[in-house]
A and B are shown apart, each in its own frame.
Chain A
Amino acid sequence: MAHAPIDVTDPAVLRRLASDRSFRERLFASTEEELGCLGVAVSPRSRLALQAARAAKLRGQDEFREAQVLRCSVSF
């Protein structure tokens, strides 16, 4: 099936990411070759943007620290 090529720097991609979970997962899990099959144009800027996105790592904190509700931003 033919796809119209999309560029990951296109705002439409981000809007789709916000609403389509499976698209989100496919986009970040696919290799460059697979992205081509998905119709994603892999321009130099797209490639770097995707690499940047994939480099995002969680710190893996298991315990949620109690969020601090601090109203005293400046004190003496």
Chain B
Amino acid sequence: MRVALVKAPREDEGLFSDNSESLALGYLAAAARSIGHEVDLHNAALRRTPRDRLLDALLDDYDFIGFNLPDPTLVRPTIELVDELRAAGVDCHIAVGGHTATFHHRELLSASSFDSVALYEAEDTICELLGIIDRGGDWKATPGLALRNTSGHIVAVPRTTRAHLDDLRWPARDDLAYVLDHRPEDGAVPVLASRGCYFNCTFCSVRAFYEQDGRATWRRRSVGSVLDEIQDLIDRFAVSDILFVDDLFLSRSPATLKYAESFAREVLRRAQSFTFTISATVDGVRRETFELLRESGLRQVFLGAEAASDDILRSLNKWFRPADIAAAVRTLRDLGIDPSVSFINFTPTTRLEHLRQNLDFFSDLDANVLQGLFNRYQVYAGTPLYASLSASGTVTGTFPHFGYVDSDSRVALAWHLCQRAFGALNELHYEVKRLERKSSRAYRPLSGPSPRSAGLAGSREPRELLATLIRGLNRDVRDLFAQVLDFVERQPDGRDEDVESFVRDLRREARTTAGGWLKALRLLEASHLAAGPLSSLEAIQDGPRAN
């Protein structure tokens, strides 16, 4: 059968920019190809394919079209595409899958002409479904699908999740060459070593997505399989930097710590040369484990620190303390590993004093405060917080975009002011992130230069200079945000005329500040991160997104 697997183009990139492959599509494509189907990947979100062109491509007589719907912002573009396909006469089976599709299968099946929703992990479901369609059988009993039955009711047929991940085919890498050519700085090479998570953070849907019979699950691939896949990527694409996109690579749980240590030892035993980034929980940062990981190539760790106060951490079901965050960051920096610290500044239970605590704590930590200061909890279906907000009647909006009512009206005003005044800081945040990745990759004191970072090997200087710039930038951003807090404290009711005048002045100041720092960052890039001859500097002048 001819199969198209699709990710729709985004209407507005915002912070949901697609700069790397979709492993979801890659895993599905590999599974379908393994049983003889001909599969085309159409990742329009990654390739910025215009909708009309994608539509033309999908009118190419496919027998099955599957859409990946991982987040709410893709709902509308995906539904519109499906409607247009149907209007153009496409009558093949059209399915959709992903986190958002799974938790909103009722809304999707009610509001659009999808034939089915592939729930949860979908490799086995899609393979079985394709086989039944190919044979002309009745696909409506396929385990793992949600669908409208003959009487028009929406029903879901359960499927047991596969126990072992090593049985899965490695994901198809149809888009990797494109990423390496077009987004060499933004695009990481994603690899998945495990699925699921033991924890139950209130803002996260991962547990609900993977749990079995109400129990949390965490399944890992064997270390050998992961390293064989990475070696294959190195051999075929000359890549040198891997991003582990696991929901939980490492935590305080003994199973994950043991796995991480086995992984590091095996990298060293095999003498494989690559750098990598992982996510870890704050309380999973143990010096001895991370020494080993550092030796094997770990360069950057994403830490979901979330908040600087015990009560907010508890409300998010995080069981570490602010002092643990500081200790984890210190340990990582001592070892020469970059901590990438994120937090959720605005949550449903945040009060004004929490915003001040976050500002002070994360600024003093010398974390990039932009990576959290303007984070506001997103209400995703499937999360514990969605359930509790729904129960208390404080969810606002309609599918697919939900919000919540702030418990502290002063926090709502602060968020309103940030939204209106700090647009310029958004761009600055993007640039800091990009240069964090670029400088982290540039530091590669392992044996043999990386094929893709030749000329930059071994220098810590760009990272240290970037850290210096971030400290300065933090001071300015802290001042800007403190102005918001001061204003709200003075005028908790936010009189209209005062708000307008305040926003106008603050916006101007934010633009000036952001513009200055953007130039300083570009100067750092041009002087310390542009490998090779002067001609390479000329490319930087056009900016990072000029392809």
Interface residues of A (CB under 8 A from B): 8-9, 11, 13-15, 17-19, 21, 24-25, 28, 44-46, 48-76
Contacts and interface: CB of A to CB of B under 8 A. Distances in A.
Nearest to B382: A72
A70 B209 contact: no
Contact of B543 (A21, A50, A57): A57
A40 B524 CA distance: 16
A67 to B, nearest CB: 4
A18 B507 contact: no
B427 A76 contact: no
A72 B522 contact: no
A48 B535 CA distance: 9
B542 A55 contact: yes
9 contacts: A14-B523, A17-B469, A18-B468, A18-B473, A48-B541, A56-B522, A72-B247, A74-B192, A76-B97
A25 B518 CA distance: 12
Contact of B514 (A45, A49, A58): A58
A56 B190 CA distance: 29
A62 B417 CA distance: 11
A11 B71 contact: no
Nearest to B26: A74
A8 B378 CA distance: 42
B469 A14 contact: yes
A25 B522 CA distance: 14
B201 interface: yes
B425 A14 contact: no
B276 interface: no
B527 A45 contact: yes
B24 A74 contact: yes
Contacts of A69: 203, 342, 344, 375-378
A17 B247 CA distance: 38
Contact of B527 (A14, A57, A67, A72): A14
Contacts of A57: 518, 543
| Chain B interface SS verdict (over half) | helix
A71 B247 contact: yes
B451 interface: no
Given A19-B472, A62-B420, A11 B523 contact: no
A14 B470 CA distance: 11
B15 A65 contact: yes
Contact of A75 (B209, B375, B522, B523): B209
A28 B511 CA distance: 15
Interface stretch (B116-124, B259-267, B485-493): B116-124
B16 interface: yes
Given A17-B523, A45-B534, A76 B375 contact: no
B537 A52 contact: yes
A59 B514 CA distance: 11
Contacts of A55: 522, 540-543
A68 B99 CA distance: 15
A71 B207 CA distance: 11
Contact of A67 (B70, B118, B192, B374): B374
Contact of B423 (A13, A24, A64): A64
B520 interface: yes
Contact of A72 (B205, B426, B472): B205
Contacts of A53: 519-520, 522-523, 526
Contacts of A18: 468-469, 471-473, 520
Contacts of B515: 56, 58
Contact of A59 (B203, B206, B427): B427
Nearest to A71: B204
A44 B523 CA distance: 14
A55 B231 CA distance: 39
A76 B190 CA distance: 15
Residue among A11, A72, A74 with the most chain B CB within 10 A?
A74
Contacts of B527: 8-9, 14, 45-46, 49
